[in-house]
Amino acid sequence: MILTRNYKILNLNNRVILHGSARFLTKKYDPTVKLFGREYPTDEWTNVNKSIQDKLERKLIHQKYHPLNHLANKIKHFFYKTYINRNGNPLFTIFDNFSPVVSVEQNFDSLLTPKDHVSRSKKDCFYVNRNYLLRAHTTAHDNELIRSGLNCFLTFGDVYRRDEIDSKHYPVFHQCDGVRLFDKNELFKDKALEMDIFDKDEAGIKRTFEKQEYYTLDASKIVEYDLKNTLTKLVQFIFGNNCKLNMKWVSATFPFTHPSWELEIEYKGNWYEVLGCGILEQKILTNAGAENHIAWAFGLGLERWAMILYDIPDIRVFWSTDEGFLSQFKYDDPTHSKITKYKQVSVYPPCPCDISFWLPDKTDSYEYNSNDFYDLVREVGGDLVEQVTLIDNFENKKTKKISHCYRIIYRSMERTLSQSEVNELHKKIEAKAKEQIGVQIR
């Protein structure tokens, strides 16, 4: 709870943020907080609450058939197939399992975020204590990965921000960050050109809106082109080559890149920021031991992409455990090209009812097929049936008869269904299945 606050309006990454020098009423925390089996002492910075801790376990991008899992797989596939090294191996190393608990050093200092930068505020981040927080972006891993010697990598993960509450913002979301380093040989493949990454003309070296002081304009422009080209191709791959999406590059500011841009996509008449990117600050490369390189970096929000791709109107939907939502994405997608459009799930409660029957014996002219039953349910139940799934299938060894059990979920888009209404409908389905398909209700 906030006692006093002097509001200042700051513009960070094109987003207006209310920044206050606030004094917080200290909420009582236990002396330690346990995250992923490790205990952290709490202090006056601690503000990770129980509800956010519950989210740490969900791992939505690893949940098979979740739309964020489909999207992450598509992005991975794009980089694996498009960027191959001389030996035929993927150029980009992909990480998707780093712990979201990171140090203040990883999340901010290693990325040159000034000590008094708004993004560090307790108001915007979930702090475990003064030294650790739940990462606010997957960029937090860039420094270490560069230091470990990687030149091309992607990091996927859940990120945490205390934010406004609406259909587009949620305290947990998912990002994918990418980085690519180039040395002189990679950048200027045509050696005859005699070009350099670094500007040797010390006198005239200045930072401009186009480039950092260290680099030649040629080097900076080539890397900018490669970055924008990579991301444009990624957008085309994800949203389908022939879909007509309007895109625009908007110049931006981040503490860790210069120059920097955001990519905006037009969707249903509004422009949405879908990623931030830029040329990585040379100082970050130098600190990580890669001083003779130049690099681009980007970070994209998976929910934003998925909302546009699958027509999902509200970010809370991703956290739903409702089968009405999850079942819409239950498909294998070996070519990573399938795009399903989401159908709004009803806000009224579901009423599940099971039906079990022996299948009719196979004859020369008829063999039972589940689709016959599905059609019949549709015919009788209409839009009051949300879903039908085969939940049990067995054969009686003696009689050789096969039994199926289906779960029918009844749910209306307009109202709460009464149990008697559902029972009546269910009985009609039983009767019709007996009469039309010849099943024997058990």
> What minimum distance in Å lies between the beta carbon of 294 and ligand PHE?
14
Alpha helices in 103-172 (DSSP H): 104-107, 142-147
> What minimum distance in Å lies between the beta carbon of 197 and ligand PHE?
19
Residue (of 225, 231, 273, 221) closest to 252 by Cα position: 273
> What minimum distance in Å lies between the beta carbon of 261 and ligand PHE?
8
What are 429-434's contacts with CB under 8 Å, separation 24+?
Answer: 429/355, 429/376, 429/377, 429/380, 429/381, 430/355, 432/376, 432/379, 432/380, 433/355, 433/357, 433/373, 433/376
Structure tokens at 59: 């791992």
- The side-by-side arrangement of strands in the sheet containing 440-441 is 385-395, 402-410, 351-358, 440-441
Nearer to ligand PHE, 137 or 211 (CB): 137
> What minimum distance in Å lies between the beta carbon of 104 and ligand PHE?
15
Nearer to ligand PHE, 199 or 281 (CB): 281
Nearer to ligand PHE, 279 or 388 (CB): 279
Nearer to ligand PHE, 14 or 369 (CB): 14
45: Cβ contacts below 8 Å, ≥ 6 apart? 122, 127, 129, 130
- By the criterion CB under 6 A, which residues form the site for ligand PHE? 13, 137, 139, 177, 254, 256-257, 260, 276-278, 297-299
Nearer to ligand PHE, 298 or 357 (CB): 298
With CB atoms as reference, the residue minimizing the distance to ligand PHE is 299
> What minimum distance in Å lies between the beta carbon of 54 and ligand PHE?
23
194: left (phi over 0), alpha (psi -120 to 50) or beta: left
Helix (H) or strand (E) holding 157: strand 152-160
How does strand 152-160 pair with strand 93-95? parallel
> What minimum distance in Å lies between the beta carbon of 72 and ligand PHE?
17
> What minimum distance in Å lies between the beta carbon of 233 and ligand PHE?
18
Separation CA 63–CA 383 (nearest Å): 29
Nearer to ligand PHE, 272 or 358 (CB): 272
Nearer to ligand PHE, 169 or 330 (CB): 169
